[in-house]
Amino acid sequence: MMDKLLKTNIKIVTRLLFEGIVKPTELVNLSLKKIAEEKHFNAFITVTSKEAKFLAEKCEKRYLEKKPVSDLDGVPIAIKDNFCTENIKTTCASKMLENFVPAYNATVCQRLLDAGAVLVGKTNLDQFAMGSATIDSSHGPTKNIWKFDNENFYIAGGSSGGSAVAVATGTCFAAIGSDTGGSTRNPASYCGLVGLKPTYGLVSRLGLIPLVNSMDVPGILARTVDDVVSVLNVIAGYDEKDSTSRSKPFRKIRLPPASKMSIKGLKIGIPVEYNCEYLSQEVADTWNDIATMLKNEGAIVKQVSMPNTEYSIVCYSILNQCEVASNMARYDGIEYGFRADEDSSTEKLYATNRKIGFNEVVKSRILCGNYFLLTRNYDKYFTKALKTRRLISNDFDNVWDEVSLLLTPTTLTEAPLYKDYLQKANHYKLNEDYCTQAANMAGIPAVSVPIKLSKNGLPLSVQLMGKNLSEPVLLAVAKYIENIVKFPHFQYET
């Protein structure tokens, strides 16, 4: 039973803990052992063994008294290494922050700890979350579990690839990622997991090291929709320390069994513009199959138009790089971060710190962002991108008059081989977030749901999007789909 324990869902494992069949210390030790066994996937940057064992002992005392503090009490979780964790290194997978130890916890982390969750480690990512593959890390690439070959592996997706692989390998039950343009849903799709990007402001951003402040949100990766809901119920809600936090009280989501749900009469839109040039046939067929299935189950499925979608990638790229240029300015190696052995001048010290501390991806975004923000370019690029973002957001506002949810692909293809990705890096970076990043610009919630395996034996997924704060409906329909397709999570070899 212990071998299968880490692959079950949170509700089952907490019941086993409450009944005393499994002890929290046993569960955490099993998780830490699994992390050591699966280290070749490179999912973790820091493994918090000492802290995890200490927390597990506290959980064990509560369970002995039959007083667990939440549905996550004693449950091993992982957190992406761009969330601040008190007295635990937070590196953003960068040399710039390789020795940075925060003095406080991100709100998301603190709420998980207050709920009794056990942090087993900080996960790998693209440096400062700038990427869509988790290969641009100072700690090396994270490798996908599906069809694994150490010398010829598939990418895990990014930038939350470490969190995705941590869950997919069974080292933890859920993981926190960040989502700026699809960075939770993209690796969820490639790794066969459920990935949720909540409504902007529903989950506090305090302590999430910023990439693009106006789009960043904490995301959740787990094997099932119910597990995602269990985590969301703990981390969501107003945070007075976060100026972007929504003040409206959050009501915990309670999803009924899928067998008792009905989608009869639910209006679901199929955006015609998402059937784009680079969409693979297998992904298109999967998208069509799910649309047909929902229609057969009684939903009203209709085509809708999102006319400004075709401009979203260019718009997103400009705004992303402009905000990156602003956010990265704080890393000069003086107050904190990497400091070079340079004593010629302050200006030279700054330049050397940033030259060595950042990789080429980060430096290129800083340069591009500063170019777009030059006085002579500001209106030509940044202002136009802001106006385009408003048009894209208006497309979503208008479509909710016709439908309740949108159904789209998550990624345009299955996970590419690492070597193929390197050869076509610009193509993938420009296109793989085509279906995901518009949700971040509009601030709406979106969830990726795994559907089936491709002919090549790799996961294929679809995405659901809804209007602001529609997580209860969004996740209910995701669970409904999940129950019908019964994705084969563990048909892989390690």
- Domain boundaries in the chain? 2-262+410-485
Q: What is the pLDDT of residue 209?
A: 98
253: how many CB neighbours lie within 10 A of its CB? 17
DSSP H stretches of helix in 358-417: 360-372, 384-399
Active-site annotation holds for 345: no
Query: Which two structure tokens, joined as six digits, stand for 79?
Result: 């957190």
Active-site annotation holds for 80: yes
DSSP H stretches of helix in 139-244: 161-168, 185-191, 225-235
Q: Which amino acid is at 399?
A: V
**What is the Cα–Cα distance from 191 to 168, expressed in whole angstroms?**
7
Query: Which two structure tokens, joined as six digits, stand for 469?
Result: 């704060």
Q: Residues 6 or more apart from 382 whose CB is under 8 A from it? A: 318, 319, 322, 372, 373
H helix and E strand count, the chain: 17, 11
What single-letter DSSP state applies at residue 311? Answer: G
In the block, residue with structure tokens 């008792």:
260
Active-site annotation holds for 4: no
What beta strand segments (E) does 180-266 contain? 194-197, 217-222
For the 2-262+410-485 domain, the top CATH level (class) is: alpha beta
Q: Residue 116 in 3-state DSSP?
A: coil
**What is the Cα–Cα distance from 34 to 6, expressed in whole angstroms?**
9
Q: Which of 23, 34, 80, 122 is catalytic?
A: 80
Query: Which two structure tokens, joined as six digits, stand for 137?
Result: 């890390």
pTM equals 0.97
Which residues in the chain show pLDDT less than 70?
Answer: 1-3, 430, 490-494
317: how many CB neighbours lie within 10 A of its CB? 19
Q: Residue 188 in 3-state DSSP?
A: helix
Contact 475, 446 (CB under 8 A): no
Q: What is the pLDDT of residue 310?
A: 86
Q: Which of 31, 94, 132, 159 is catalytic?
A: 159
Q: What is the pLDDT of residue 492?
A: 40
End-to-end Cα separation, the chain, in angstroms: 19
Distances (CA, A) of 341 to 97, 333, 350, 357, 358: 16, 11, 11, 12, 16
Contact 79, 341 (CB under 8 A): no
Q: Which of 183, 189, 312, 461 is catalytic?
A: 183
For 340-387, write each residue's pLDDT tens digit. 987 778 889 999 999 999 999 999 999 999 999 999 999 999 999 999
